[in-house]
Amino acid sequence: MKRTVPLFITAAGGFILVVAYFIPHTQDWGEISLIWFDIIASFAMILGGGNLLKIHLSKVSDRGKGWAFSGVTLAAFILMLIIGLSKMGVHPNDNYPGFAWSGNYRETGAPFWWMYEHALKPLTATMFSMLAFYIASAAFRAFRAKNFEAILLLGTAFIILLGRTAAGVVLTGWMPERLSGLRLENLTIFIMTTFNTAGNRAIMIGIALGIASMSLKVLLAVDRSYLGSGD
């Protein structure tokens, strides 16, 4: 029962979507099953939150390495959750003034907005901007013209790096019109639209065939690995 029901739900959901795609009259079935999917996706957020609590609470209780970071994570998570769910400091919606919780949780000036604006936003932007430093360090340590393939890769990288900035125009902008294809910015476009596109299309077609075959296996219950290893 524990395995049969999920297998049945998967097969039914999958086949409904396939049928709804090809037969317009059954479009509503597809919509309904997708709304169910959206509801389940929302539950996945609750599951994710629960999992985060479980992992970090156990780290804090074990006093394992870096437990203080887990403590900060938990504090931030719980604080944001309480502020967001309770809509702390949020005024009711103008259309429904009688309902205290009808306001927008993102209201400017509210504690949730403040936490977002002054904590989450700068922190996540900082994390992303650190990439530039690590890329520079990795480029210095890893890129070596050891063989022909590496030389090709390096040459392409230089063209793209220069062609995606004003340097490309400065360095090769003087080239006459009949040689404009050799200008760095145009070479960049050529590489992206020809070599990159060809390679990516080949990969995409391969992936698509793989997905189709894998999906059929899942729908027909041949592949049951997504159910976990056992009871």
Partner 1 sequence: MFEFFKNLDRRWVFLMMGFAVIVPILVQVKFTETPTNLARAVFNEFEKLEPGDKVLLSFDYDPASQGELQPMATLFVRHACEKKLKLYFMALWPLGPQMIDDTVRNVILEEYNEREGVTPLVYGEDYVNLGFKSGAEGVIKVVVTNMRQLYTTDSRGTAIDDIPMMDGVKNIRQMDLMANVSAGGGGTKEWVQYAVTPYPDDITLVAGCTGVQAPLLYPYIPQQLPGLLGAIKGAAEYEALVNEKYNPPVPDDPKEAAKWQTRYERYTEGVRRMSPQLFGHLLIILLIVAANVIYFVEKKREGSS
Residues 6+ apart with CB under 8 A from 33: 13, 16, 17, 20
Residues 6+ apart with CB under 8 A from 90: 101, 103, 104, 105, 107, 110, 112
Under 8 Å between Cβ of 58 and 71: no
Q: Under the criterion CB under 8 A, does residue 154 sit at the interface with partner 1?
A: yes
From the CA atom positions of the chain, what is the Rg in Å? 27
CA-based end-to-end distance of the chain: 11
Contact stretch for partner 1 (CB under 8 A) within 2-10, 29-37, 60-68, 70-78: 29-37
Burial of 218 per CB tally in 10 Å (0-12, 13-18, 19+): middle
Distance in angstroms (rounded) separating the CA atoms of residues 167 and 211: 42
Give the closest residue to 93 by CA, choosing from 103, 81, 83. Answer: 103
Among 57, 157, 179, 216, which residue interacts with partner 1 (rule: CB under 8 A)? 157
Q: Under the criterion CB under 8 A, does residue 165 sit at the interface with partner 1?
A: yes
CB of 225 to partner 1, least distance (A): 21
CB of 36 to partner 1, least distance (A): 9
Kindly determine how many residues on this chain lie close enough to bind partner 1 according to the rule CB under 8 A.
60
Among 3, 54, 118, 121, which residue interacts with partner 1 (rule: CB under 8 A)? 121
Q: Under the criterion CB under 8 A, does residue 42 sit at the interface with partner 1?
A: yes
Contact positions vs partner 1 (CB under 8 A) = 17, 21, 27, 30-31, 34-35, 37-38, 41-42, 44-45, 93, 95-96, 102-104, 106, 108, 116, 120-122, 124-125, 127-129, 132-133, 135-137, 139-141, 143-145, 154, 157-158, 161-162, 164-167, 169, 185, 189, 192-193, 196-197, 200-201, 204
